[in-house]
Chains A and B, each alone.
Chain A
Amino acid sequence: MAVSRDEVFAKVRDVLSDALGVDQEEVSLEATLQGDLGAESIDFLDIVFRLEKAFSIKIPKGELFPDEMLNNPEYVEGDRITPAGLEKLKQALPHADLTKLEAKPFVSKMPDLFTVRTIINYVESKLAA
């Protein structure tokens, strides 16, 4: 059964609104989970759990939010993401738009990758698989 992009957006909006305690109107496509919607690290786990339930998909650890990367010295040096790290992110997150991060490859900018649009792209790719 095909799920339309609008239906995916509606369900993702419900998930984020419930998990983060924000009004539906705030959940716009370009809103960042952390910066705009106030997500804490535990909220990312809550979001993964809710998405799995809402879409009946299985999200392996690190597939949507690659938190383990930050501990790897090959990918992160001090406050910067290395070229190897950017490459790894491109492979790991085909659903994310890395242009801004490539321009300013700071660890502190990584959370901005995770917008509502990123989540929708990810869910659609899982549903299509």
Chain B
Amino acid sequence: MRWIWIDTFVDFVSGRRASALKNVTLAEEYLHDHMPGHPVFPPTLMLEGMAQTAGILVGEARGFAENVILAKIRRAEINDYAFPGDQIRYDAVLDSLDDRAGVTSGTMHKNGKVVGRADMIFSHVRPGESSELPPHNFVFTEQFMRLLAAFRPRAATGSTDAG
């Protein structure tokens, strides 16, 4: 199992919002455990997909200067579940951002229909902030950066931006 729970960005407005897709496929081996004979995409992995979408939104807004670490799920609801062949879309909005934390809200969609929401807070941890942490940014790895590069982020244009 690789730890990347989004497949591609479909929207990215720097400092504002981001949307990413996750396809659910039987090729994902753990689905055969969850559950045997009746594969259901684990809801906590829906939360992780939202966290990755929102976390990259938060990190990009500050030039990936800090490690962005999920610190709190304020509230999350999951009203429907996803199965192999479904496509999940995570829509994340950046509500607040400063040097200590980023606050995001978001909705989850399955095949175009809203199925849940998740509001989160991410802490900013500076590289090397404590001796237990690596001296460089360990969160924003190659695979995340490639996803973002594939969808060039537009800078927010202030009042002229309808978004």
Contact = CB atoms under 8 A, between A and B. Distances in A.
Direct touch of chains A and B (CB < 8 A): yes
Nearest to A61: B98
B100 A46 contact: no
B95 interface: yes
Interface residues of A, number: 8
Interface string B72-97: 10110000000000000000000110
B103 A42 contact: no
B139 interface: no
A61 B101 CA distance: 11
Chain A CB within 10 A, most for which of B75, B98, B121: B121
A42 B123 contact: yes
B121 A42 contact: yes
A43 B103 CA distance: 12
Interface in A41-59: 42-43, 45-46, 49
A42 B72 contact: yes
Nearest to B99: A61
B51 to A, nearest CB: 14
B71 interface: yes
Interface in B93-148: 95-96, 98, 100-101, 103, 121, 123
Contacts, number: 22
A75 to B, nearest CB: 19
Given A42-B121, A42-B123, A45-B121, A61 B100 contact: yes
Interface residues of B, number: 12
B100 A49 contact: no
A45 B95 contact: no
A18 B119 CA distance: 13
Interface in A24-66: 42-43, 45-46, 49, 61
B50 to A, nearest CB: 17
B121 A46 contact: yes
Contacts of A19: 74
A42 B74 CA distance: 10
B95 A43 contact: no
A104 to B, nearest CB: 28
Contacts of A61: 98, 100
Nearest 4 A/B pairs, CB to CB: A42-B71, A42-B72, A45-B101, A49-B103
20 contacts: A19-B74, A42-B71, A42-B72, A42-B101, A42-B121, A42-B123, A43-B72, A45-B100, A45-B101, A45-B103, A46-B72, A46-B74, A46-B103, A46-B121, A49-B95, A49-B96, A49-B103, A49-B121, A61-B98, A61-B100
